């Protein structure tokens, strides 16, 4: 599995087929909103979504940006990994929890 960072999106790719993605569009000068995590049903429960969120956190950290989180999967992931929460805006847990639908 290869992970590709393209602007505000990270994809999980195998044999040139996108099998997972996380999106985090800008919502301010140094702030993004993690709004969508998707993994192909054949790869669910194998840690791919967690890798996508971790890689998004690393990408944000490396660029000095912070995140709001509206994707329910990402919210749960950050609650389980508080050591990664330094990339989240203060009060992130009060953000409305709604995922962008589609795919």
Domain boundaries, the chain: 2-94
Task: Report how far residue 29's alpha carbon sits from residue 91's, in angstroms, rounded to the nearest whole number.
Answer: 18
Domain 2-94, architecture per CATH:
3-Layer(aba) Sandwich (3.40)
Q: What are the backbone dihedrals phi and psi of residue 31, each rounded to the nearest 5 degrees, phi first?
A: -130, 140
Cα–Cα nearest to 53, from 72, 26, 78, 32: 78
- pTM higher than 0.95 for the full model? no
Q: Which residues contact 57 (CB under 8 A, 6 or more apart)?
A: 67, 84, 87
pLDDT per residue, tens digit, the chain (103 aa), is 999 999 899 999 999 999 999 999 998 889 999 999 999 999 888 999 999 999 999 999 999 999 999 999 999 999 999 999 999 997 655 555 444 444 4
**What count of other Cβ atoms lies within 10 Å of the Cβ of residue 24?**
27
């Amino acid at each position: 599995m290869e992970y590709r960072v393209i602007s505000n999106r990270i994809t999980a790719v195998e044999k040139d087929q996108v099998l997972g993605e996380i999106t985090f569009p800008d919502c301010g000068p140094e702030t993004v909103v993690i709004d969508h995590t998707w993994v192909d049903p054949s790869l669910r429960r194998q840690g791919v979504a967690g890798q996508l969120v971790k890689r998004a956190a690393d990408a944000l950290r490396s660029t000095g940006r912070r995140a709001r989180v509206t994707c329910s999967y990402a919210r749960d992931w950050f609650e389980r990994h508080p050591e990664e929460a330094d990339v989240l805006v203060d009060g992130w847990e009060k953000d409305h929890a709604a995922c962008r639908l589609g795919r």
